[in-house]
Amino acid sequence: MGREPFLPDLGKVFRARKGSKLSRFFRLFFEKNNIKKLIGTNFIALVIASSFIPTATKTQAIETNNISTPTVLTTESGIQFPVKRIMITQYYHFFHPGIDLDGVTGDPIFPISAGYVERVEYSAFGYGKAILVSHSSGIKSFYAHLSKVNVTTGQKVDKETKLGEMGSTGRAFGDHLHLEIHENGKPINPLTILPN
């Protein structure tokens, strides 16, 4: 008895009357005994090999997550909008690495979260009066076009600290706050971390 060829006979594929040529080829390919043996053997080997792979059970996960220090719970939420009245006039996109929040000159501006003031900028062009606040986990927030700055470089701030007041300094067309959020040095869409 001769060995069965690995691929089906193309003459058989073209002579069959049902289905497309591609479906006929694969039907004949998988009907061959050699393929059935190969697939069956590999499946059995996979099942046997997977039985030797250790899996974590619920009790193991609980034991490894046992924390000896007490957990402090707080009712304060971590992130907030920097303005009391939220009205977005321009969204984040490729050429605008932040969002613009509408308001009037003098509206108070607050940090999105606790941190410290990394830098205070004053420019007649660009962002005008601006503040960069550094938070935990590589997050920084940038507040631009302010009319007044109330903080200094190095100052610790919490969510109740008034950073400054809304304005239209620098290259701004009307009163608004330009807010940028950076994660590990790269701008991200602020709406991905601000509350809904």
- The DSSP annotation for 133-180 comes to EE-STTEEEEEEEEEEE---TT-EE-TT---EEEB--SS-SSSEEEEE
Q: What's residue 5's pLDDT?
A: 62
Q: Parallel, antiparallel, or unpaired for β 176-183 and 99-102? A: antiparallel
Select 88-192's CATH number: 1.10.10.60, 2.70.70.10, 3.40.640.10, 1.10.150.120: 2.70.70.10
Cα 191 to Cα 66: distance, rounded to the nearest angstrom: 34
Q: What's residue 3's pLDDT?
A: 62
Domain borders along the chain are 10-64, 88-192
CB-based contacts of 161: which residues, under 8 Å, 6+ apart?
110, 111, 151
pLDDT at 57 over 50: no
pLDDT (tens digit per residue) in 6-52: 565 666 655 665 666 566 566 655 565 555 555 666 666 665 665 55
pLDDT (tens digit per residue) in 84-132: 999 999 999 989 999 999 999 999 999 999 999 999 999 988 999 999 9
By the 10 Å C-beta count (0-12 exposed, 13-18 middle, 19+ buried), 79 is classed as: middle
- What phi, psi does 99 have (nearest 5°)? -125, 155
Tokens of 196: 């809904």
Beta bridge partners of 111: none
Average per-residue pLDDT in the chain? 79
pLDDT (tens digit per residue) in 171-180: 998 999 999 9
Tokens of 57: 């059970």
